[in-house]
């Protein structure tokens, strides 16, 4: 080999073949030794890159198995690292790693309902639910364990992280409704819907991801419209918001279709009007 790692000409018989260079030792971060490679093909990971790698490996495992069924050895193997390396970055062990993984997932979840504030509100919520349900689908085991309180690594801090996601979702939905200072009924209505989305997601996983995710999304959007309309019947602020929201909808959109389906159901109940 020459200095660049490329093959050199065969040595003459009078010159002994040089010994192979020694294998490089472990990386400075305590990770496994790198395989011999051409110069420029190996780069040590920075502290933040290695930490992110371990979190990504943990998230992948937590997404398919309950957290209590995932060991630090599993995470180390998935990240192609060593157990001591995992402890170096997460000296608190699995609870600390789980909390870090949850925080990473929460950062993504908090952006689910962040849609451009233009067009019908139901279209924005449908796009947000597509992202939310995609997350649920990809992190089924961890999502279920956390929300059902079934994880042995659950702590008050992990609970606070989940509550933070719920508050962020509530604030984003209220922003779509253009409500800066919601009254107690309107705020309760939005929080109730967020809770319904969580519960429906868990049931959907328990039912083998049935109905199809598109049907679940549309059903949850209908739930939002129904809750908002019912709240509007007794709350002036909700009534004002409902009128403004419906003004953005079209006859062939989700609300128009829902209205016609509801009329078919109540057509024989004219005595109630």
DSSP calls for 148-216: TT--TT--HHHHHHHHHHHHHHHHHHHHHTT-SS--HHHHHHHHHHHHHHHHHHHHHHHTTS-S-HHHH
Compute the average pLDDT of residues 173-187.
Answer: 96
3-state secondary structure of 43: coil
Number of helical H runs and strand E runs in the chain: 11, 0
Peptide bond into 111 cis (omega under 30): no
Predicted pLDDT at 151 = 54
Structure tokens at 127: 């796009």
Query: Is 90 within 8 Å of 153 (Cβ atoms)?
Result: no
Q: Model's pTM, two decimal places?
A: 0.73
Cβ-Cβ contacts under 8 Å for 13 (sequence gap 6 or more):
none
Q: Which residues of 15-32 are buried (b: 16+ CB within 10 A; e: fewer)?
A: eeeeeeeeeeeebebebe
Report the C-alpha gap between 54 and 31 in whole angstroms.
12
Predicted pLDDT at 6 = 42
Helix 140-147 / helix 184-206 crossing angle, nearest 10 deg: 130
Confidence of residue 140 (pLDDT cuts 50, 70, 90): confident
- Return the percentage of the chain with pLDDT > 70, whole number: 80
223-237 pLDDT per residue, tens:
999 999 999 999 999
**pLDDT over threshold 80, residue 189:** yes
Predicted pLDDT at 153 = 58
**pLDDT over threshold 60, residue 42:** no
- Return the percentage of the chain with pLDDT > 90, whole number: 50
């Amino acid at each position: 080999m020459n200095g660049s790692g490329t093959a050199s000409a065969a040595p003459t018989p009078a010159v002994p073949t040089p010994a192979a260079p020694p294998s490089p030792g472990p990386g400075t971060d305590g990770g496994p030794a790198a395989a011999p490679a051409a110069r420029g093909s190996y780069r040590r990971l920075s502290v933040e890159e290695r930490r992110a790698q371990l979190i990504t490996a943990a998230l992948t495992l937590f997404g398919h198995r309950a957290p209590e069924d995932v060991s630090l050895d599993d995470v180390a193997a998935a990240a192609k690292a060593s157990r001591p390396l995992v402890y170096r970055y997460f000296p608190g062990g699995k609870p600390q790693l789980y909390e870090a993984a949850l925080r990473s997932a929460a950062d993504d979840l908090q952006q689910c309902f962040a849609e451009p504030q233009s067009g019908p509100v139901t279209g924005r919520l449908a796009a947000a639910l597509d992202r939310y349900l995609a997350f649920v689908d990809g992190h089924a085991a961890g999502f279920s364990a956390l929300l059902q309180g079934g994880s042995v690594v659950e702590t008050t801090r992990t609970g606070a992280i989940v509550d933070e996601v719920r508050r962020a979702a509530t604030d984003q939905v209220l922003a779509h409704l253009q409500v800066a200072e919601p009254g107690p009924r309107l705020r309760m209505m939005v929080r109730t819907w967020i809770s319904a989305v969580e519960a429906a997601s868990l049931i959907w996983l328990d039912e083998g991801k049935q109905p199809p995710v598109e049907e679940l999304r549309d059903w949850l959007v209908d739930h939002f419209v129904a809750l908002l309309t019912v709240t509007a019947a007794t709350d002036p602020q909700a009534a004002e918001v409902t009128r403004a929201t419906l003004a953005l909808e079209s006859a062939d959109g989700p609300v128009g279709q829902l209205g016609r389906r509801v009329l078919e159901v109540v057509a024989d109940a004219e005595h109630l009007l």
